Each structure stands twice: as C-alpha cells, then as structure tokens.
Amino acid sequence: MPLRNPWFETVAEAQRRAKRRLPYMVYGALLAGSERGRTVKDNMDAFGDLGFAPRVVGHRAERDLSTTVMGVQTSMPVLISPTGVQAVHPDGEVAVARAAANRGVIMGLSSFASKPVEEVVAANPDTFFQMYWSGDRDAMLQRMERARKAGVKGLIVTLDWSFSHGRDWGSPTIPDKIDFKTMVKMAPGVLPRPGWLWRFVKTGRIPDLTVPNMRPPGGPAPTFFGAYGEWMQTPPPTWDDVKWLREEWGGPFMLKGVTRVDDAKRAVDIGVTALSVSNHGGNNLDTTPATIRLLPSIAEAVGDQVEVLLDGGVRRGGDVAKALALGARAVLIGRAYLWGLAVNGQAGVENVLDIMRSGLDSAVLGLGHSSVHELSPDDLYVPPGFRVTLGGGAVADAQAD
C-alpha cells in the first residue's frame, strides 16, 4: 500500500512509522536490546549528553564530508553496519546496498543476511563482508573465499556476541521457517499490517528465513536458527584463532565489538586494519557502557596505529560529528537504516543516509570547519564523568590466550 508522502525528516519518525507498518515480531526483532535495555538506551542517550561548541563567525562555504575506510572511498564517514534483516523487506540487503551505492557509502553485509553476497556486491561493489566465528575452520575459509570471489573489499569479524537472549519487554516469537502452518499461526500479527504483507505478495515471495551466505558447498542454505545453532556450538576463538583468520584473509580486516583498551591493543598486535568500538547495539551483555563513552580512551590508545570506528546509538548526523570529534574515523549505523528500509525500502534507506549527511554537514558548518577531518574534542562540551575506560591497565598474562 503506497504511502502518501513516504519521506520522513528524522530517524525517530522512521521508527514510529516502522512500528505501525511491521508485524510486531519483525518490529520487535529490530528493536532488540537485552535484559533491562540499559545499554541500548545509553548508546543513544549518551550522544545527547555531549554538547556542541559552535562558532558564530568563520563558517566555511565549502565542506568536504568524504573520507576512506580500510582504503575504500566513502562520500561521508557513515557505513551500513551488518545486520541480518530477515523479513523486513523482500529486497532486503540488495535494497540497502543499492541505496548505499547511490549515496556513495560502504555496505556492510552480514553472513546472517537474507541475500547472497554475489547479489549484494553486484548492487554495491564497495561491500565489506561480516563473519562470526562459527563452524570449523574449513567452513569459515569456504565462506570467506566465497566472499572474496564475489569481490568484497574487506572483512568484518564480529566477536562480541555471547548469546544473551532475555528481554524484560519480551522477545518476539520468530519461526524457524515460514510454511502454511506458521502463516496461519502468524496471521493475527501479520494481517493488521497489510502494507508489509502486500510488498511480499507483490514479489510473489514470502520471507523464507534462510541464510544463503552460510550455505555449504553443494548444500541448501540453512535456516537462520540452523546457522545460529552451529554458531552456539562452536568453541569461542582465542587470539591465535583470530590471528589465523586475519592472516588467511590477508586484505583489509575489521574487528567489530571492542570495548576495552587492552583488547584494542591485542587487535593491533594481530594486525587488524580497523576496529569498531561496539557493544552490538546493546543487544549483548546489558549494562556495558555506551560506545561513545568508551571511544576516547580506545582512540587515544590505538588510533594512530589502526582505524577506529564506532557503532551503537547513532541516529542523526550530529551524532556522527560527535563520534568523529572524539576520535572515530567513521561510524556504522544499524537500526537507523533498518527503520528506513522497513518504511520505504531502498528510498527509505537513502532518506536515512540523507538525514545523516545533512545533519553532519550542519555540524561541520556550525563548528566552523571545512572537512570532517578537522573535528576535534575542542568542538564539544564533554560533561564530567562522561568518558569510561575499560581494560586500561596492562594486559595481564592470565588474559592472554
């Protein structure tokens, strides 16, 4: 059902519309969070606690927002964070990749995504592929080589997940696969959301909830929960394992999920190209501090050796400016683009990227700069006690492998 005016002016408005449009189980899966929801909230609120220090005269007429991440050019320091966007929109990650390509930004593709890496790279050649430590080494190599062959320009390895599932506000029931029986069961949640359903009906498809990038050679794509089960049963990696993966890949390599200074230093030791200060969007161990609080000490410790990115809580361009001022090279966004995708497909993701760009441009203008590279802590009011340093001491032997 077409919306009369699908354009939205803020990410908050996109989220409100997504809530009205999506069946509750899909909306709830994107809302996510864990336990009390303290981290997911702090990720967003902490950006609001930081103040700007704008200049009154000396604004620059020309402003350059572009940069590079792991050697790849991007029109602004905002990347698409990898998410498994099962069932949000029939075009899924391909729509997101097209939007990112149209706006000149890098696409992060999850190995738990609903679309194959080959289709996503065809839509946006500037794609980084994300992997978890899941399955045996041969399976991981096979997935990695498939992504390399597809032409991805970098690998993101996410290692912070610890299978924390409970939410005080309840988790939606997500079926393993969608067949006639589950459709009947889901009908009360889906039928009041005809706009969402209609999109799938138009394409003649129903969300199949499989993860094609986890497909073994010659076998079918596993279901989301099938792949999740394999991951849960995989012994967690040591630093030596991560080093092995890094060496096997050889190219640009980002470690996602760092919150501690000692971990950031270990990541440098194993030769990562970049790291993302991340708590998985507050979906993991609840009460982990907001990533923007953790960023300054990590950027100070390793920012001259590797590229430091941040994800978690970014909802506007001003948030991007704040993260850059505190030492990030770029940020990744998750829910912000998912709300856009839910509301208006590819155009909705473009709408979100435009919101990010214009908000960042306003901040750079008001702060009197001509480039995002000029942003610094001097541009901000940082309230007392805002910064948090985790793992700031020497790496104890006990913590080594």
184-220-241 Cα angle (round to 5): 115
Which is nearer to ligand FMN, 288 or 367 (by Cβ)? Answer: 288
For residue 280, indicate whether it is catalytic: yes
Site residues, ligand FMN (CB under 6 A): 29-30, 32, 43, 81-84, 110, 112, 130, 158, 256, 278, 280-281, 283, 311-314, 333-336
The two beta strands, 51-52 and 380-381, are: antiparallel
Q: Report, in Å, the least distance between residue 177 CB and ligand FMN.
A: 19
Which is nearer to ligand FMN, 110 or 346 (by Cβ)? Answer: 110
Indicate the residue whose CB is closest to ligand FMN. 334
Out of 59, 89, 165, 280, which one is annotated catalytic?
280
Q: How many CB atoms lie within 10 A of CB 359?
A: 19
Backbone angles phi, psi at 300, to 5 degrees: -65, -35
Euclidean distance between CA atoms 162 and 159, whole angstroms: 9
Which is nearer to ligand FMN, 126 or 311 (by Cβ)? Answer: 311
The token pair that represents 131 in the structure block: 């992997």
Backbone angles phi, psi at 253, to 5 degrees: -140, 120
Q: Report, in Å, the least distance between residue 111 CB and ligand FMN.
A: 7
Residue 390: helix, strand or coil by DSSP? coil
Contact by Cβ (8 Å): 314, 280: no
Q: Report, in Å, the least distance between residue 276 CB and ligand FMN.
A: 7
Q: How many helices (H) and strands (E) does the chain have?
A: 14, 12
Q: Report, in Å, the least distance between residue 224 CB and ligand FMN.
A: 10
Which is nearer to ligand FMN, 115 or 369 (by Cβ)? Answer: 115
Amino acid occupying residue 198: W
Contact by Cβ (8 Å): 221, 212: yes
Which is nearer to ligand FMN, 32 or 70 (by Cβ)? Answer: 32
Q: Report, in Å, the least distance between residue 320 CB and ligand FMN.
A: 11
Which is nearer to ligand FMN, 32 or 353 (by Cβ)? Answer: 32
88-94 LR contacts (CB < 8 Å, sep 24+)? 88/22, 88/26, 88/30, 88/338, 88/341, 88/342, 89/199, 89/341, 89/342, 89/345, 90/199, 90/200, 90/202, 90/203, 90/205, 90/207, 91/345, 91/346, 92/341, 93/120, 94/119, 94/120, 94/123
Q: Report, in Å, the least distance between residue 338 CB and ligand FMN.
A: 6
Bridge partners of residue 131, in order along the sequence: 157
Burial class, 181, CB count within 10 angstroms (exposed 0-12 / middle 13-18 / buried 19+)? exposed
Q: Report, in Å, the least distance between residue 398 CB and ligand FMN.
A: 28
Which is nearer to ligand FMN, 43 or 346 (by Cβ)? Answer: 43
Helix (H) / strand (E) element for 99: namely: helix 92-102
Q: Could you list the active site residues? A: 280
